[in-house]
């Protein structure tokens, strides 16, 4: 059974979708720990009801990003974590973390990468005037939202869409593809060659 460690900073709707997929037997893995940099993250509240261990680690107690990440990695190691899932985690991981967990960290981004990386992807899409956006699950490498793509789902952008209305429709699809990508990882079906991911 794959041990999943989740890093989350915010409301945690993706985390919720992952928990539900596990409960329904759609993911052959278990969440061993949820770590947050935000004491008030609603994500933490959601998991407490499910008997999943949580940990809040205060960034201010560490001198550097790497020191902070080392603390996180210590917790992940204690739990024998095989897969790190970023679920609305708002900090950039240090290269040290990324190298140590190479091809074992995944993220979801609310746009069709490589379009609109970085913050406010849905706003970027609305402002640019694209007709299609969507979401992307990808492995994390040392760039910003630039790692190998695992799954993507397109979402139509409507003429009257605001950042919020588009975000809401994209989010529904995020909740579908993130659990699916995690299951593929858990089944050992993701093969990475250079920057491409093949599904066995
Ligand atoms: C999602 O839009 C995700 O694509 C992005 O951060 C947001 C997290 O939302 N990486 P939630 O905390 O899962 O509700």
- The DSSP symbol for 117 reads -
Task: For 77-88, give one letter per residue: b (16+ CB within 10 A) or e.
Answer: eebebbbbbbbb
**Which of 7, 15, 86, 108 is the best mutation target for the ligand 1 pocket, counting ligand atoms within 8 Å of the beta carbon and taking the most?**
108
Query: Beta 190-193 vs 196-199: how paired, if at all?
Result: antiparallel
Identify whether the C-beta of residue 186 lies closer than 8 Å to the C-beta of residue 27: yes
Share of the chain above pLDDT 70, in %: 100
Per residue in 29-51, pLDDT tens?
A: 999 999 999 999 999 999 988 99
Identify whether the C-beta of residue 2 lies closer than 8 Å to the C-beta of residue 160: no
Name the residue with the closest Cα to ligand 1, atom 1: 88
For the whole prediction, is pTM greater than 0.75? Answer: yes
d(CA 87, CA 55): 15
Identify whether the C-beta of residue 1 lies closer than 8 Å to the C-beta of residue 29: yes
Name the residue with the closest Cα to ligand 1, atom 12: 12
Q: How far is the CA of 101 from the centre of ligand 1 (A)?
A: 21
Per residue in 81-111, pLDDT tens?
A: 999 999 999 999 999 999 999 999 999 999 9
């Amino acid at each position: 059974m794959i041990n999943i460690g989740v890093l989350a900073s915010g409301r945690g709707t993706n985390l919720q979708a992952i928990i539900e997929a596990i409960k329904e037997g759609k993911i052959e893995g278990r969440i061993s720990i949820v770590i947050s940099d935000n004491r008030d993250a609603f994500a933490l509240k959601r998991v407490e009801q499910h008997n999943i261990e949580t940990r809040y680690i205060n960034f201010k107690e560490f001198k550097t990003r790497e020191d902070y990440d080392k603390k996180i990695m210590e917790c992940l190691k204690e739990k024998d974590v095989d897969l790190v899932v970023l679920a609305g985690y708002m900090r950039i991981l240090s290269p040290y973390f990324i190298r140590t967990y190479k091809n074992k960290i995944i993220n979801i981004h609310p746009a069709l990468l490589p379009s609109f990386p970085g913050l406010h992807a849905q706003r970027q899409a609305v402002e640019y005037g694209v007709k299609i956006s969507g979401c992307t699950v990808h492995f994390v490498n040392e760039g910003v939202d630039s790692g190998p793509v695992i799954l993507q789902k397109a979402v139509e952008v409507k003429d009257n869409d605001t950042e919020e209305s588009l975000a809401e429709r994209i989010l529904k699809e995020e909740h579908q593809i993130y659990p699916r990508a995690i299951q593929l990882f858990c089944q050992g079906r993701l093969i990475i060659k250079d920057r491409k991911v093949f599904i066995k």
